[in-house]
Amino acid sequence: MKNDFRARNHPAYWAFVVHRVSGLLLTLFLPLHFWALGQALHGEARFDGFLRWTEQPLVKFAETALVLLLAAHMAGGVRLLMLEFLAWRDWQRSLLAIASGASIAVGLAFLLNVV
Amino acid sequence: MNTRSQVLLWGAQRVSAMVLALCVVIHLVTIIYAVRNGLSAAEILGRTRGNAGWLAFYTVFVAAVAIHAPIGLRGILAESIGWRGRSADIFVLAIAMSLATWGWRAVYAVFV
Amino acid sequence: MGMLHVKVWRGTEQGEFQAFEVPRLESQTVLDVVTYIQRKCDASLAYRFACRVGVCGSCAMSVNGQARWTCRTHVSKVAAEDRLEIAPLRNLPVVRDLVTDMREFFDKWARARGQFQGGKRRTDDFARVAPDSRERQQVDAGIECIGCGVCYSACDVVTWNRDYLGPAALNRAWTLVNDVRDVSRKERLAAVAGDAGCHACHTHMNCTERCPKQISPTAAIAGLKRMALAAAVKGEI
């Protein structure tokens, strides 16, 4: 028999879900990101054309989501490194709070600058 | 894959994560700074073209990503769809090499 | 005090929940409820217990979706609106009703080299281990495990990877690699390293969250990860 959400409903598990989903989405985004920068090989105009395409609101929304994912994956990853490599007692929960706070702050900073 | 390689792979993901943590902070700060007045090719290329420091930084960044992401993907493939063993390892290695190639091509593209 | 509405798993892997009404009592434990059902409602109900006081580790079950030791879980703590759903532990084959087959759980302790291996003879002098030494403190943190299987049942990595040794076996291994009298440290590290061992752990902390003895297998596993990595880098495993 398998566990359902009742067994998993605690902060460290949510942190895992965020880490896994963000990691997977960021990996899928990478080829697109590299392709976009590669446009510069075909001249500045081509690159500019692509950048103008990114000014649509929907693209900006997706970019904000990506920045948030990156920040969350990094903050959550630093938390994991600390749990795995530092001697550890009772401060895991504060680490989680710091990680989520930092990711949201980064997302907001991007959002405020991009619009 | 033998146990020692599995452990070293785990270690490689952690070490690359430490490198990435630093790279991502710099990358995020750059992103947030760069988008203030909208993105333009002239502005981006003005920063990156011929800049050896930038080239070195992003070369390392791409290398760390190409190590880190495929090892994570290897875990996801094993746990979510049960794809394990040699075929999965070869697939993941191919992803790593593609990411490195594509990533370095992108770095080169904004450097020259 | 009213009645408890209890649903109890009947069958093996295939089966269904059967409903019972059980009188609510003061200071009632989940094990009391199961025992009441077996004695007063349906004598064919299979479940396992021995000590009733949280020492033997045989009465663990899934209570309202979470693995718990039932003998020391008060109904008042878990039965929201007087409802209980009692099922066998997860991640283990079900023998019948609430009884699981614990063989793979304990076989994995053996695979993780969970046996102490000393290097001294009875004619040798006593080993002296300072109670405040770092190693002894690490051992103390994990040594109270009663082998109830709650962590194994709660662990997602066990569900996803049937070869994974699981939190209890790895916690046991961690107490032994920190035992300065033990002589098979290297073999044990080799046995617990890699994709089926400590390095598969994702720090979900389901085990730490549920352990009735407040042990943190996650911390033990993190220790093994570091120690095994060092050994792998040196080429010892």
**Domains of chain B, each with CATH number or no CATH:** 3-111 (1.20.1300)
The CATH class, in words, for C103-233 is mainly alpha
Q: Would the CB atoms of B14 and A84 count as touching at under 8 Å?
A: yes
Structure tokens at C50: 């021995």
Neighbours of chain C (3+ CB pairs under 8 A): A, B
Which residue among A6, A13, A92 places its CB closest to the CB of C65?
A: A6
Beta strands (DSSP E) in A1-115 are none
Give A25-52 pLDDT, tens digit per residue. Answer: 999 999 999 999 999 999 999 999 999 9
Contact C117, C53 (CB under 8 A): no
Would an 8 Å CB–CB cutoff place A84 in contact with chain C?
A: yes
Mutate: best of A1, A16, A18, A73, partner C, most C CBs <10 A: A1
Would an 8 Å CB–CB cutoff place A12 in contact with chain C?
A: yes
Which residue among A41, A81, A110 places its CB closest to the CB of B109?
A: A41
Query: For the domain C3-100, what is the CATH code?
Result: 3.10.20.30
Structure tokens at C86: 């009692």
Give C149-204 pLDDT, tens digit per residue. Answer: 999 999 999 999 999 999 999 999 999 999 999 999 999 999 999 999 999 999 99
Q: What is the pLDDT of residue B38?
A: 84
How many angstroms away from the CA of A32 is the closest CA of chain C? 28
Q: What is the pLDDT of residue A8?
A: 95
Other CB atoms within a 10 A radius of the CB of residue C75 amount to: 23
Query: pLDDT over 70 for what percent of chain C?
Result: 100
Of C214 and A94, the one with more pLDDT: C214
For chain C, the first-to-last Cα distance in angstroms comes to 60
How many angstroms away from the CA of B66 is the closest CA of chain C? 20
SS3 at position B40: coil
* SS3 per-residue string spanning chain C: CCEEEEEEEEECCCEEEEEEEEECCCCCEHHHHHHHHHHHHCCCCCCCCCCCCCCCCCCEEEECCEEEEHHHCEHHHHCHHHEEEEECCCCCCEEECCEECCHHHHHHHHHCCCCCCECCCCCCCCCCCCCCCHHHHHHHHHCCCCCCCHHHHHCHHHHHCCCCCCHHHHHHHHHHHCCCCECCHHHHHHHHCCCCCHHHCCCCCHHHHHCCCCCCHHHHHHHHHHHHHHHHHCCCC
Query: pLDDT over 90 for what percent of chain C?
Result: 99
Give C111-163 pLDDT, tens digit per residue. Answer: 999 999 999 999 999 999 999 999 999 999 999 999 999 999 999 999 999 99
Query: What distance in Å separates the CA atoms of residue B9 and residue C229, rounded to the nearest whole number?
Result: 10
Instruction: Report domain extents, chain C.
Output: 3-100, 103-233
What residues in B contact C235, CB-CB < 8 Å? 4
When mean pLDDT is compared across B34-43, B52-61, C61-70, the lowest value belongs to B34-43
CB pairs under 8 A between A and B: 98
**Is A17 a residue whose pLDDT tops 80?**
yes
pTM over the 0.80 mark: yes
- Across chain C, mean pLDDT equals 97
Show the domains of chain A with their CATH numbers: 5-114 (1.20.1300.10)
Considering only residues 61 to 80 of chain A, which have any Cβ-Cβ distance to chain C shorter than 8 Å? 80
Query: What distance in Å separates the CA atoms of residue C161 and residue B83, rounded to the nearest whole number?
Result: 11
What residues in A contact B108, CB-CB < 8 Å? 41
Considering only residues 29 to 88 of chain B, which have any Cβ-Cβ distance to chain A shorter than 8 Å? 31-33, 35-36, 38-42, 44-45, 65, 69, 72-73, 76
Which residue among C161, C199, C231 places its CB closest to the CB of B6?
A: C199
How many angstroms away from the CA of B90 is the closest CA of chain C? 16
Give A48-101 pLDDT, tens digit per residue. Answer: 999 999 999 999 999 999 999 999 999 999 999 999 998 766 677 788 888 888
DSSP A87-115: ---S-HHHHHHHHHHHHHHHHHHHHHHH-
Would an 8 Å CB–CB cutoff place C233 in contact with chain B?
A: yes
Would an 8 Å CB–CB cutoff place B107 in contact with chain A?
A: yes
**Is B6 a residue whose pLDDT tops 70?**
yes
Average of per-residue pLDDT across B84-112: 97
ipTM: 0.95
